[in-house]
A and B are shown apart, each in its own frame.
Chain A
Amino acid sequence: MSTGTRTPVVAADRPRAGPVAWLTTTDHKKIGVLYCVTAFAYFLIGGALAGAMRAELADTGNQLVGPQSYNTLFTVHGIIMIFLFVAPFGVGLANYLVPLQIGAPDMAFPRLNAMSYWFFAGGGVLVLLSSFATDAGGVATGWYLYPPLSGPRYSPGVGPDLLILGLALVAISTLMSGVNVITTTFLMRAPGMTMWRLPIFTWNVVVTAILGLVAFPPAVAAFVLLLFDRRLGGHAFDPLGGGDPIVYQHLFWFLGHPEVYILILPFFGVITEIIPVFSRKRLFGYTGFVLATLAIGALSTGVWAHHMFTTGVVDNPFFSAMTFTIAVPTGVKFFNWIGTMWGGKITFRVPMLFAVGFLLNFLIGGVTGVMLASAPLDFQLSDSYFLVSHFHYTMMGGSVFGIFAAIYFWWPKAFGYRLSERLGRGVFALMFVGFNMTFWPQFVVGLRGMPRRIVDYAPGLGWETPNLVSSLGVVVLSAGVLVFLLDALTSRRRRTPAGDDPWGGSSLEWATSSPPPEHNFTSLPRIRSDRPAYDLHHRAEAGEAGRPRSEETA
C-alpha cells in the first residue's frame, strides 16, 4: 500500500462536539448526517399524514377528517415525501459518501454545503407552516400546485404562498448541493481514481446532480410566476388575463418527471454497492451500468409530458415512445443486478434483504409504469388508485427500501457500531409485508375505478375490502418503522463494535476507519481498479497492479 496523502486541509479548529459544532459544521460527514436525520424526521411527519388518510379511507363514511383537511393531508404528504424526505436523504448520503468514495478530504465548497443544508431545513419549515399555520386553512391543491386551482381565485389563503417559498428554498438547496457534488467528483478525485473507476453510487449521484441542475430552474420559474399571479396581480397562468395554465404544467413536469429519477437514481447506486458485496462478486457489467445511468439521466428529461396525456395539447406518441425507451436502460440495470447475484455466494444480511426488497418492489412499479406509458391505457387509469399504487411501488418500494438498505449498510461506517441484525430482519419483514399489504390492494381498487384524492366512497362498489386491507397494511408498515427507531436508539447503548470494514466492502470508504477521521483518510491506498478497498484487503490476490475488470470472476 502506498501511504501518500495530500496536504491536510486547514480545519483543525473545527469544533468537534456539541450542538454548536453540529449547527455550524462545514464537515461533509456531519452535514450528511444532518441531512439524513432531518429528512427522516420529515418522513415520520409525512408518514403520520399518510396514516391519517388511510384511517379515513379504511371504511366508508367520514371518520376522521373533512374533505378540505383531507386535501391538505394528501398535498402536504406528497410534498414532504418527495421534496423533504427521499430527495434530501439522497443528498445526505451523497454528502457523506462521495468524498469518502473518491478519496477527497471534504466537498469542494464546504460553506456552500452548509448553506444547502440550511436552505433545505428552512424550506421544510415553510412547507410545514403552509399546511397548518394559516388562518384560511392549509394548502390543498395537490403536490403539483396546478393553476387555476392554486391561483388567487380558488386558493386565496397564504398556504400556497408559503409552500411556493418553501419549495423555492428547497430547490435552491438542491442546486447548491448539485454544484458541490459535480465539482467535487470532477475535480477532487484521488490519484488513480479515474472516472471509470468511480463507485457506482458516486456515478449515480453525479447524474442525479446534473438532472437537478437542469430540471429545477424551470420549476422555480413556474413557482415564482405563480407567486406573481397570486400576490402581485400577474396573469402568467390566468386565462382571463391572457395567460396559459398549460405552460405551468409544462414547466412543472419538466422538473416533475426528472424528479422521479432524482429520487430513485441515488438508491439505484445504493443497491448497486450492496448487491456485489453480499453476493461476493464484483458488479456484472460496470460499463453498461454507467452508460445505462447516463441514458436514464438524458432520457428522463424528454418524457415530462406523459403526465399531460389527458390535456390533449401534447404529442402523445412522442412522449409515449420516449417513456417506453427509458425502460430499456432501466432493464439493463436489472440485468446487471441479476447478473451480479447469479452464481454468487449470497448472504442475506439486512442491507441485502432491503436491496432484494427494492428489486421486487421496483420491478412491479416499473412494469406498471410501462403500462401507464401507453396513452390509451393512461386515459383509463390516470388519476385512479392504480396510479397511486404504481407511484408508491417505485418511490416507496424502491427509494424507501433503498434508504433503509443504505442506513443498515453504512451505519457501521458512520458511527463505528452496528445496528441489530435480529431487529433489522424484523424491520424488513414488517416493512415488506406492510408495504405490499398497503399498496397491492390499491392496484385492485384502482382497476375497479376508485379515483385518487377522494375522502370518502359509497358502499357496494367492491372498494371496501381492498381499502381496509390497505389501511391495515399501514399499521404493519408503521410497526416496522417503529422497530427501526427502537433499534437505532438502543444500538447507541449497545455499541457493538463494527470494525473498519464489517461487510467486506470494495469501494474506498471501507479503506478508512469507522467512523472516518476529520479529513477522511490518514493515508490513501493505491487505486488500481474500481474496487480499491477490496484490492487493499486482498493484496496478494489482487496483485500489485490490482485486478483489471476483465479478469474478475465470481
Chain B
Amino acid sequence: MKVALRYLWAYAAFGLGLGTFYYVLTEEWVGSIALWFLGVMPLIVALWWTRHGPSAAVRASDDPGADPAASAGTSLGSFPTATAWPVFLVLGVFVTGASLVYGLLLLPVGAVMLVWAIVGLARESRG
C-alpha cells in the first residue's frame, strides 16, 4: 500500500511542479491549469488515503512473507450475480444523447429509461 500511496504523492508533485515550471516559462494558462489539475487529482486521493485509507494497517498483500493459508476465510465481500441493468443504462444514455441530436421529443423517453436503469441498479446492488 505504501508503494501505491508514494506513487500518488510523486504524481501529484510532478503535476504541480511541472505546471508551475510551465507557467513560469510560458505564462500560458490553458496548459498550466491542465498540469496543475494533473497534480491536484492524485493529491486529493493521496490526502484522503493518508487520513482515512487502509495505508496504516499492514495488509497481507503488502507482507512479503504472508502465507495464503493465513488469510483463508477472509471475506472479500459479495460479488454480484448476472445483471442486465448496465445494458438498460447504456440504452437510456443512448436515447438521451440522441435527443440532443434528433430532437427533444426523445428526451422524456431517454430520461425514463435512465432513471429506471439507475433505480434498478441501485436496488440490485443493495440486494
Contact = CB atoms under 8 A, between A and B. Distances in A.
Given A7-B74, A9-B76, 12 more contacts: A2-B68, A4-B67, A6-B72, A6-B73, A6-B75, A7-B73, A9-B79, A14-B81, A111-B125, A191-B66, A192-B60, A526-B68
A23 interface: yes
Interface in B28-55: 28, 30-31, 34-35, 37-38, 41-42, 54
Contact of A190 (B41, B61, B89, B90): B61
A542 to B, nearest CB: 15
Given A298-B14, A301-B35, A11 B81 contact: yes
Contact of A191 (B71, B82, B86): B71
B80 A26 contact: yes
Interface of B: 1, 3-4, 7, 10-11, 14-15, 18, 22, 25-26, 28, 30-31, 34-35, 37-38, 41-42, 54, 60-87, 89-91, 93-94, 97-98, 100-102, 121, 124-125
Contacts of B78: 9-10
A298 B22 contact: no
6 contacts: A24-B82, A106-B79, A192-B65, A194-B64, A214-B41, A302-B35
A114 B86 CA distance: 7
A21 interface: yes
Interface string A165-179: 100110000000000
5 interchain residue pairs of minimum CB distance: A4-B69, A189-B61, A191-B66, A191-B60, A195-B3
Interface string A220-263: 00000001000100000000000000110011001000000000
B79 A11 contact: yes
A524 B68 contact: yes
A161 interface: yes
A188 interface: yes
A114 B83 CA distance: 8
B11 to A, nearest CB: 6
A9 B84 CA distance: 20
B41 A294 contact: no
A105 B67 contact: no
A7 B25 contact: no
B64 A231 contact: no
Contact of B4 (A2, A162, A186): A186
A526 B67 contact: yes
Contacts of B100: 161, 165, 227, 231
Nearest to B121: A111
Contact of B81 (A26, A162, A250, A318): A26
Majority secondary structure, A binding face: helix
Interface in A182-199: 186-197
B8 to A, nearest CB: 9
Interface string A293-323: 0100110011011000000011100100000
A114 B70 CA distance: 32
A212 B121 CA distance: 25
Contact of A192 (B31, B64, B81): B64
A318 B26 contact: yes
A118 interface: yes
A466 interface: no
B124 to A, nearest CB: 8
Interface in A132-187: 158, 161-162, 165, 168-169, 186-187
A3 B66 contact: no
B76 A193 contact: no
Contacts of B35: 301-302
Nearest to A11: B79
Contacts of B30: 246-247, 250-251
A151 to B, nearest CB: 15
Contacts of B4: 186, 195
A194 B86 contact: no
A302 B22 CA distance: 9
B41 A23 contact: no
Contact of B66 (A168, A192, A195, A314): A192
Interface string A100-143: 00011110001100110111011001100000000000000000
Contacts of A122: 90-91, 93-94
B85 to A, nearest CB: 8
B101 A158 contact: yes
A5 interface: yes
B68 A110 contact: no
B15 to A, nearest CB: 7
A256 B124 CA distance: 37
